[in-house]
């Protein structure tokens, strides 16, 4: 959800105005002259740079460089020239915009790096104080937020130096020299670029970023990112300077620019919203009259760098000035006013055209099938994993004949009670119970499935009279005292955001680690023992005989088999071993 709020603001602001002076300039956007063509690039001045060149849609051109996916689905950088040339010979899983003359990149199975505009590596973010750096956001005012594997956030400068220690549990990007951060005790404060606290934020309050000298705040209770409306605004000293008037509302994703902010009123009977404009004193300068159907459309109301307001009225877009005079007809289905340009990209019917912002006249006689405002990603995640560390975390709870507090032979009723599960909860479990998931580390969660020697619960049956006869009726359930643990399945649930092909890679790391320490015992895998993580491994169970505290235990790395779970999960099965022990322990 934190990612979502950042991305909405990042995407919607690329083509429009920003109070931040370092906003990278978009000079060209991808286009197609015809739907069947390949993609080309057209400038914000209407001049075509090149056309019919790329099969995949490129990003917009920022600071003279753009990205596009290759046939393998990886990103490559190109220079924005009539004949675009690769920036280097590398392809990336993630590739960011050049802000502060460097860009964040992630190569497959590698940590996050930054490259210069000549394609060379500026620095790599692998670890900080023995903690992996797993996540970064784009630079803002010379600083970029990052996250370590223990989910603590800090900031780096453009040389890769950590300038604000990762002590925070959540952060916002810097804006106007200040950033909103959450401390370990769940309180929110505002810090400067030295990491010094400037003031505390009110309790139970969520905030956006500073914009035009003001910080939008709203109450946390009962709100989500989809329903939150701003309650008040703070200045850069932490003083409340504006409370949103009762007659209008302000959405959390809108912000002040050039002294104004979009506001709205809701008509619950018609199920529509009317949008207008408010100044910093709470005065309504454009009454809420522009009609939209959905709340998210209010985000489209933005003020351009030349002080015009993009509006939507009944699914049509246009531009008005701060006195509500229409300067570009409200007749387009899409409208992207270009930053630092007199022109806008407008869609009418099935075609796009380039128009003058003031007047709406065509700037070129040519119409285009497609024009896209394609931004770069708003965050970047490391694709490097500590395979040995992951495997050690997974196997650390392994004990003689068990895993953690659960052992082979334990009564299932005791395990269920430890997890606040009643017999009724387990009535459909037959011979298995599935325990709640727990976080293992930054890569995945795990949950345990316990298989019993017999049915976990038995029904409580009583004879009840049914008119002229008696019949048996189930009136409750009780745990079977004879049901004991015979097998423990540790189901590994990789997090989808933690890297490409993560389920397969984590499984292979576990196999590699176990091959170095335990003996494989299934014949089908013996001949593959010197080549871990083979294609055969991915399809077949792999059995090991391990010794834990002088006790033999059989371990199986397997696909999920008969367990009900997702395809991208895998399981470590723990069972009692036969009396024979392995000849040797590696």
Q: How far apart are CA 236 and CA 214, in angstroms?
A: 7
pLDDT of residue 458: 87
Query: 95 lies in a domain?
Result: yes
Q: Residue 49: which of 68, 63, 29 has the closest Cα?
A: 29
* Average confidence (pLDDT) over 345-349: 90
Q: pLDDT tens for residues 138-148?
A: 999 999 999 99
Q: How far apart are CA 525 and CA 510, in angstroms?
A: 15
- Residue 400 pLDDT greater than 90, yes or no: no
> Do 107 and 223 share a domain, yes or no?
yes
> Do 175 and 244 share a domain, yes or no?
yes
Q: Are 304 and 17 in contact (CB under 8 A)?
A: yes
Query: 336 lies in a domain?
Result: yes
Q: Which of 381, 413, 442 finishes a domain?
A: 381
Paired tokens of 386: 């500590």
Q: pLDDT tens for residues 188-227?
A: 999 999 999 999 999 889 899 999 999 999 988 766 767 7
Phi-psi region of 510 (alpha: psi -120 to 50; beta: other; left: phi over 0): alpha
> Do 354 and 229 share a domain, yes or no?
yes
Q: What are the DSSP calls for 323-378, one per residue?
A: T--EEEEEEESEEEEPTTSSEEEEEETTEEEEEETTT--BSSS--BSEE---PPPS
Query: 583 lies in a domain?
Result: no
CB atoms within 10 A of CB 285: 16
- Residue 496 pLDDT greater than 70, yes or no: no
Q: pLDDT tens for residues 312-338?
A: 999 999 999 999 999 999 999 999 887
Q: How many residues does the chain have?
A: 586
Q: How far apart are CA 154 and CA 171, in angstroms?
A: 8
Q: 3-class SS at 119? A: coil
Query: 162 lies in a domain?
Result: yes
> Do 529 and 465 share a domain, yes or no?
yes
Please list the alpha-helical segments (H only) found in 399-543.
Answer: 412-418, 502-515, 523-526, 535-539
> Do 8 and 130 share a domain, yes or no?
yes
> Do 301 and 361 share a domain, yes or no?
yes
Beta strands at 205-211 and 214-219: parallel, antiparallel or unpaired = antiparallel
- Residue 8 pLDDT greater than 50, yes or no: no
Q: pLDDT tens for residues 147-199?
A: 999 899 999 999 999 999 999 999 999 999 999 999 999 999 999 999 999 99
What percent of the chain has a predicted confidence (pLDDT) above 70? 87
Query: Across the chain, what does the average pLDDT equal?
Result: 85
User: Would you place residue 375 in the very low, low, confident or very high pLDDT band (cuts 50, 70, 90)?
Assistant: low
Q: pLDDT tens for residues 441-466?
A: 888 888 898 989 988 888 888 887 77
User: Would you place residue 65 in the very low, low, confident or very high pLDDT band (cuts 50, 70, 90)?
Assistant: very high
Q: How far apart are CA 133 and CA 378, in angstroms?
A: 17
> Do 75 and 174 share a domain, yes or no?
yes
The tally of domains found in the chain comes to 2
Query: 581 lies in a domain?
Result: no
- Residue 119 pLDDT greater than 90, yes or no: yes
Please list the alpha-helical segments (H only) found in 399-444.
Answer: 412-418
Which helix (H) or strand (E) is 6 found in, with range?
helix 2-13
What percent of the chain has a predicted confidence (pLDDT) above 90? 49
Q: How far apart are CA 169 and CA 419, in angstroms?
A: 28
CA distances from 358 to 313, 458, 500 (A): 18, 78, 46
pLDDT of residue 25: 77
- Residue 55 pLDDT greater than 90, yes or no: yes
Beta strands at 94-95 and 102-106: parallel, antiparallel or unpaired = antiparallel
- Alpha carbon dihedral 127, 129, 134, 140, in 10-degree steps, equals -100
Query: 514 lies in a domain?
Result: yes
> Do 563 and 475 share a domain, yes or no?
yes
Q: pLDDT tens for residues 513-527?
A: 989 888 888 744 444
* Average confidence (pLDDT) over 385-408: 89
User: Would you place residue 257 in the very low, low, confident or very high pLDDT band (cuts 50, 70, 90)?
Assistant: very high
Q: Which of 338, 361, 381 finishes a domain?
A: 381
**Please, what's the largest Cα pairwise distance for the chain?**
94
- Residue 261 pLDDT greater than 50, yes or no: yes
pLDDT of residue 507: 87
* Average confidence (pLDDT) over 395-403: 87
Note down the domain range covering 278.
2-381
> Do 156 and 265 share a domain, yes or no?
yes
**How many C-alpha atoms does 158 have within 13 Å on its Cβ side?**
11
Q: Determine the straight-line distance between the first and last CA of the chain, rounded to whole angstroms.
A: 45
> Do 376 and 356 share a domain, yes or no?
yes
Query: 585 lies in a domain?
Result: no
* Average confidence (pLDDT) over 34-56: 92
> Do 359 and 394 share a domain, yes or no?
no
Q: Are 421 and 453 in contact (CB under 8 A)?
A: no
Q: Which of 381, 402, 423 finishes a domain?
A: 381
- Residue 112 pLDDT greater than 80, yes or no: yes
Q: For residue 414, what are the contacts with CB-CB under 8 A and spacing of at least 6? A: none
Q: What are the DSSP calls for 160-179, one per residue?
A: S-EEEEEEESEE---BTTBE
Query: 212 lies in a domain?
Result: yes
CB atoms within 10 A of CB 262: 28
Q: Are 473 and 462 in contact (CB under 8 A)?
A: yes
> Do 124 and 195 share a domain, yes or no?
yes
DSSP-derived letter for residue 389 is: H
The CATH number for 238's domain is 2.130.10
Q: How far apart are CA 404 and CA 392, in angstroms?
A: 14
Q: pLDDT tens for residues 533-568?
A: 444 445 577 888 887 777 777 888 875 545 545 567
* Average confidence (pLDDT) over 465-485: 83
CB atoms within 10 A of CB 510: 23
Helices 502-515 & 387-395 angle (0-180, nearest 10)? 70
């Amino acid at each position: 959800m934190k990612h979502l709020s950042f991305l909405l603001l990042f995407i919607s602001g690329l083509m429009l105005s920003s109070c931040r002076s370092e906003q990278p300039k978009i000079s060209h956007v991808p286009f197609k002259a015809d739907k069947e063509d390949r993609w080309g690039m057209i400038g914000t001045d209407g001049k075509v740079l090149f056309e019919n060149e790329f099969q995949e849609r490129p990003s917009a051109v920022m600071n003279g460089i753009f990205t596009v996916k290759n046939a393998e689905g990886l990103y490559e950088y190109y220079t924005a020239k009539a004949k675009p040339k690769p920036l280097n010979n590398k392809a990336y899983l993630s590739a960011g915009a050049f802000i502060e003359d460097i860009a964040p990149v992630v190569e497959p199975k590698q940590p996050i790096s930054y490259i210069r505009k000549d394609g060379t590596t500026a620095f790599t973010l692998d670890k900080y104080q023995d903690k992996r750096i797993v996540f970064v956001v784009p630079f803002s005012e010379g600083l970029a937020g990052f996250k370590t594997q223990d989910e603590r956030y800090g900031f780096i400068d453009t040389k890769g130096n950590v300038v604000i220690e990762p002590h925070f549990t959540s952060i916002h990007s810097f804006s106007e020299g200040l950033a909103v951060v959450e401390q370990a005790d769940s309180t929110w404060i505002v810090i400067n670029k030295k990491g010094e606290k400037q003031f505390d934020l009110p309790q139970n309050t969520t905030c956006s970023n500073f914009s035009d000298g003001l910080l939008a705040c709203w109450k946390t209770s009962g709100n989500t990112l989809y329903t939150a409306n701003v309650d008040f605004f703070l200045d850069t000293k932490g003083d409340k300077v504006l409370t949103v008037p009762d007659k209008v509302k302000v959405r959390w994703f809108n912000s002040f620019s050039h002294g104004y902010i979009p506001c709205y009123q809701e008509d619950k009977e018609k199920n529509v919203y009317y949008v207008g404009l408010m100044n910093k004193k709470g005065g309504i300068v454009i009454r809420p009259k522009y009609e939209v159907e959905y709340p998210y459309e209010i985000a489209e109301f933005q003020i351009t760098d030349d002080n015009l307001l993009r509006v939507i009225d009944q699914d049509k877009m246009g531009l008005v000035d701060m006195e509500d005079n229409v300067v570009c007809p409200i007749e387009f289905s899409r409208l992207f006013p270009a930053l630092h340009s007199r022109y806008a990209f407008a869609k009418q019917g099935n075609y796009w055209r380039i128009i003058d912002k003031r007047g709406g006249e065509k700037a070129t006689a040519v119409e285009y099938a497609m024009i896209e405002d394609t931004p770069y990603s708003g965050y970047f995640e490391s694709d490097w994993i500590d395979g040995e560390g992951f495997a050690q975390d997974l196997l650390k709870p392994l004990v003689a004949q068990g895993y953690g507090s659960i052992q082979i032979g334990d009564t299932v009723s005791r395990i269920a009670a430890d997890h606040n599960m009643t017999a009724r909860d387990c009535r459909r479990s037959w011979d298995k119970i599935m325990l709640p998931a727990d976080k293992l580390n930054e890569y995945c969660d795990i949950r345990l499935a316990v298989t019993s020697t017999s049915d976990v619960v038995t029904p409580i049956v009583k004879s009840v009279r049914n008119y002229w006869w008696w019949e048996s009726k189930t009136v409750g359930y009780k745990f079977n005292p004879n049901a004991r643990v015979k097998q423990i399945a540790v189901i590994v649930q990789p997090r989808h955001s933690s890297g490409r092909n993560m389920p397969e890679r984590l499984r292979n790391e576990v196999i590699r680690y176990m091959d170095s320490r335990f003996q494989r015992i299934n014949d089908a895998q013996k001949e593959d023992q010197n080549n871990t993580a083979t294609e055969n491994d991915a399809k077949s169970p792999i059995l090991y005989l391990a010794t834990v505290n002088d006790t033999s235990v059989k371990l199986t790395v397997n696909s999920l088999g008969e367990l009900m779970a997702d395809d991208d999960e895998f399981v470590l099965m723990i069972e009692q071993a036969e009396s024979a022990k392995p000849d040797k322990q590696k």
